Structure 1
Amino acid sequence: MFDMMKMMGKVKEMQSKMKEAQDQLKDIIVEGESGGGLVKATANGNKELIGLDIDSSLVNEADKDMMRDLIVAAANKAIQEADIKAKEHIKKSTEGLMPNIPGMDLSGMM
C-alpha cells in the first residue's frame, strides 16, 4: 500500500537536495569559444556570463561587427553548455530520492 507519510518525507528530502544542488550551480564553470578560439566566453551553472577573453588580433574598428557576432556566439555556447551541466548536476544530486510513479513527471523542476 502507498505510504503517504513516507512519500511526504521523500518530497521534503528531495526539496532539500534540490536546493543544495541549485546552490552549487555557481561552482560549475564552462567555456564556449568561437572564431577558432579568438573569442572565449566563460559561464557558470546559473547561466551567468562570468568571463570574456578577446584575442588582441580582433581589436580593430573594421572588425567591430564580426567581433560582436563572435562574442554573441561564444556566450551562447557557454550558456548552452552551462544549462546542460546544471541539469546533469541536479539530476545526479537528486537521483534515487523519489520513486518512479507513472504519470508523475518531475523534470520540470530542473
Structure 2
Amino acid sequence: MRGGGNMNNMMKQMQKMQKKMMAAQDELHEMTFEATAGGGMVKVTANGKKEITDVEINEEVVDPDDVEMLQDLILAATNDVMKQVEDTTNEKMGQFTKGMNIPGF
C-alpha cells in the first residue's frame, strides 16, 4: 500500500502542472505581437494563437510599378511577427517540458 500514496501525490502534482500550463496558454493566447518592415511602412499584428489579426500598409509604400517590394515587406513583417509568437510560446510553455523528451516542444 505504500506505493498508493506516491501515486496520489504524483497525480496531484500533474494536475497542478496541467492547471499552470492551461493558465500560461490562456495568457499566451491573450497576447498581441507586432512587427514592422520598411521602417514602419508595413505593420503586421498577430495574437498568441498564431493568427494574423491586422495588416497596416502606409500608402507611401504602395507603388504599382514595384509590387514585389511591397510583397517582400509584408512577408518580412509577417515572418518576424510569427517568430515572435513562436519564441514567446517556446519560452512560456518550455518551462513545463524541460527535461522531458516530448516531440513538438
TM-score of the aligned structures, taking structure 2 as reference length: 0.78
Structure 2: distance between partners of 1:67 and 1:11: 49
1:105 corresponds to which letter in structure 2? M
- Structure 2 spans left out of the alignment, 5+ residues: none
Query: Which deviations, in whole Å up to 9, do the C-alpha atoms of 1:39-73 show, x marking residues without a partner?
Result: 11111111111111111111221121111111011
Structure 2: distance between partners of 1:65 and 1:34: 14
C-alpha RMSD of the superposition: 2.6
Number of paired residues?
A: 102
Structure 1 pair 22/65, CA: closer, same or farther in 2 (3 Å)? same
1:84 corresponds to which letter in structure 2? D
Query: Which deviations, in whole Å up to 9, do the C-alpha atoms of 1:12-39 show, x marking residues without a partner?
Result: 1111221222122222111111112111
* 2:20 aligned with 1:17: yes
- 1:27 aligned residue (22, 27, 30): 30
Task: Tell me: higher relative CO, structure 1 or 2? Use CA pairs within 8 A at least 6 residues apart.
Answer: 1
Structure 1 pair 68/51, CA: closer, same or farther in 2 (3 Å)? same
Q: Give SS of 1:33's match.
A: strand
* 2:40 aligned with 1:37: yes
Q: 1:7: which partner in 2? A: 10
Q: 2:100: which partner in 1? A: 105
- Structure 1 spans left out of the alignment, 5+ residues: none
